[in-house]
Amino acid sequence: MDAILLVHGLIGHMRAKAIDSAFGERALMPNLLGYGEHARYDGEISLPAQVEYLRRLLDEREIASAHIAGHSIGGAIAMLFARQYPERVRSVISIEGNFTLKDAFWSSGIASATLPEVQAALQADRADPAAWLQRSGVTPTAERVAAAESHLGNQPASTMQAMARSVVQITANPHYLDDVLTVLNNGTRVHLIAGERSRGAWDVPDFVLDNAEMTLLPDTGHLITIESPQAFAEALATLTAESNPA
């Protein structure tokens, strides 16, 4: 079966037991540049740089093509990857991925803040991950708090700021939606996954809605892999099944 490359967003990662159980080695869940084991990376940290990193990763694994599933900022990275390397993409799965500046509800504030301000906010969230979940509309449980701690600890503030500034810059440029349209016109199959509670705030252009399939996860907000990892894994399995052509 085709590989699935899961691309995380501004904060955290895409690792979850439910995804591991459902896909095993079929699912690649790398930390992007500036995250996890790459936290000390001192090169360019931007959406285009992440696209090239993911392309190198597929090359190293000798994977000709994969389903590219991106959450939040990761959704924008997935689109840019499909625009740059359409032959490497079985499908794009945008999990509340950024299409316009309206989607940058966290990134805009981080992009305009000073680095000390971002560091202070991240430190406060790390000190009280349950409060961070509650502000995101997620009811804290022991499992979710543990996941939140892992996500909040996966990147320094400098990475968050660099990525936030990059997504704001890219989605503010009208050419980005031209790139999305090119992906659709190339015949790349695009799926959309949204949380039922957060769907209303997701600014998906009409031309995307007209050419993509939408899956809603019940009683779920933007932090899909923390709040509803099992439902997400099941949706991903359906969308990437061999019987579902890309």
pTM of the complete model: 0.96
Q: 219: alpha, beta or left, given left = phi > 0 and alpha = psi -120 to 50?
A: left
Average pLDDT of the residues of the chain: 96
Mean pLDDT of 17-27: 94
Sorting pLDDT into bands at 50, 70 and 90, what band is 106?
A: confident
Q: Which domains does the chain have, with CATH numbers?
A: 3-239 (3.40.50.1820)
Q: How far apart are CA 232 and CA 15, in angstroms?
A: 12
159 Cβ contact list (under 8 Å, min separation 6): 34, 35, 39, 45
SS3 14: coil
- The Cβ of residue 7 has, within 10 Å, a number of other Cβ atoms equal to 27
What is the helix, strand, coil percentage profile of the chain, to 5? 55, 15, 35
The pLDDT tens digits for 107-129 are 999 999 999 999 999 999 999 99
pLDDT at 246: 43
Mean pLDDT of 89-99: 98
Q: Are 213 and 191 in contact (CB under 8 A)?
A: yes
Q: How far apart are CA 167 and CA 149, in angstroms?
A: 24
The pLDDT tens digits for 144-163 are 999 999 999 999 999 999 99
Sorting pLDDT into bands at 50, 70 and 90, what band is 104?
A: confident
